[in-house]
Amino acid sequence: MATYARQAVAFERGAGVWLWDTQGERYLDALSGIAVCGLGHAHPDVARAIADQAATLVHTSNLYQVPLQAQLAARLTALSGLKQAFFCNSGAEANEAAIKIARKYGHGRDIAVPTIVVAEGSFHGRTLATLSATGSRKVQAGFEPLVQGFTRVPFDDLEALRRVAEHQRDVVAVLIEPVQGEGGIRVPSADYLAGVRALCDQHGWLLMLDEIQTGMGRSGHWFACQGAGVVPDVMTLAKGLGNGVPIGACLAGGKAAGVLQAGNHGSTFGGNPLACRAALATLDVIERDGLTRRAAELGARLQGALRERLAGCAGVVDVRGVGLLIGIELDRPCGALVQRALDRRLLINVTAERVVRLLPPLIMSDDEAAQLLDTLCPLIVDFCA
């Protein structure tokens, strides 16, 4: 189906931050498969773990104990401070689990029509419930009727949330991204997440954070909420969790722990030995190689260098981000930059029409970062001229 407007290039091999196309041309990957391959391509530790697991046991089903899944749950709950984990195969599916938790939590409190507060400009996935939660008409158009039970507020606006608390009795949860990714790398005010946490506590709402794009070290912390000193009740993960092997997770703690019981939810493939082994290897490398710190350091340096080198460029409105989640906002639509960068053998992305998005692998070296800047900055200056 023609669901993707694809670039006319196919990659057949990767190593670290580099990809080779079918003509043997080499490209610098500053996108990581949209925040997926945080350890770059063909990472030897992850490749070895996958190969070994494939030769041992790929899948048994969740009818039985899955020790690797239990190990992964233990690691993720320890890192996040949450209590439980449910495993699935994608970000949308992780958010579906979160939405089901919120509804069941609401029914447990005798709220007949549980409502989840979501943000303008958000992105939570392409399934019916998650596109209904998403704050983009483009994503929703043509798929009505939307799933009911969401109420929308502007992002980074605590006053709007307070008004919801005053006027709506059926709210059970708030679902937001700590930094909006698809929405244009929108970083909220420093006190926003803590403010949302406080409001949730005051009103008995679940705080559900979609860390699908921000999680797994990319923000400079394991999870972006840790930068704000906030622990949610529910956290969703996917993308970077398996470094390219499909796996998603919905973590629950606080008031959300124990809401889902046997028979309430499931997934045939979710948390199978192969996916969990890949995720465990990914966690091991992030930990061993100090990649959360690396993401923070390199991200700060890249942002600083971008600001400096684009300072004289009137078309550049803002350079912002956290860790290796970086947005360069222009004063005009800039989708054409993707092709221009590709012509220069650089992979970038444009989101929210006017924001160049960089999501480089966390393993990017200083030299590779310099090459990224040397290719990208002149392209942007030229584009804005």
11 flagged as catalytic: no
Say if strands 206-210 and 171-176 run parallel, antiparallel, or are unpaired.
parallel
First-last CA distance in the chain? 38
Among residues 31, 84, 29, the alpha carbon closest in space to that of 250 is found at 84
Sign (positive/negative) of CA torsion 311, 303, 364, 7?
A: negative
Length of the chain as a residue count: 385
CB 18 within 8 A of CB 37: no
User: Which one among 123, 150, 222, 383 touches ligand PLP, defined by CB under 6 A?
Assistant: 123
Which residue's Cβ has the minimum distance to ligand PLP? 91
User: Which one among 238, 249, 306, 358 touches ligand PLP, defined by CB under 6 A?
Assistant: 238
Instruction: Indicate which residue of 210, 223, 233, 383 is catalytic.
Output: 210
Min CB(333)–ligand PLP separation in Å: 20
DSSP-based three-state secondary structure for 27:
strand
210 flagged as catalytic: yes
Token pair of 332 as six digits:
């005009």
The one segment of 118-126, 272-280, 299-307, 354-362 that binds ligand PLP by CB under 6 A: 118-126
| 278 or 313: CB nearest ligand PLP | 278
| 90 or 115: CB nearest ligand PLP | 90
Secondary structure E strands in the chain: 11-15, 18-21, 26-29, 84-88, 115-119, 150-153, 171-176, 206-210, 234-237, 248-252, 316-322, 325-330, 346-347, 349-351, 355-358
The answer to whether residue 216 forms part of the interface with ligand PLP (CB under 6 A) is no
d(CA 194, CA 190): 8
Min CB(286)–ligand PLP separation in Å: 19
CB 19 within 8 A of CB 41: yes
191 flagged as catalytic: no
What x/- string results for residues 295 through 334 when contact with ligand PLP is judged by CB under 6 A?
----------------------------------------
DSSP-based three-state secondary structure for 26:
strand
What x/- string results for residues 175 through 214 when contact with ligand PLP is judged by CB under 6 A?
--x---xx---------------------------x-xx-
In the window 142-171, what residues touch ligand PLP (CB under 6 A)?
none
Say if strands 26-29 and 18-21 run parallel, antiparallel, or are unpaired.
antiparallel
The one segment of 123-131, 288-296, 331-339, 350-358 that binds ligand PLP by CB under 6 A: 123-131
Q: Which residues are catalytic?
A: 123, 210, 239
Binding site for ligand PLP (CB under 6 A): 90-92, 95, 123-125, 177, 181-182, 210, 212-213, 238
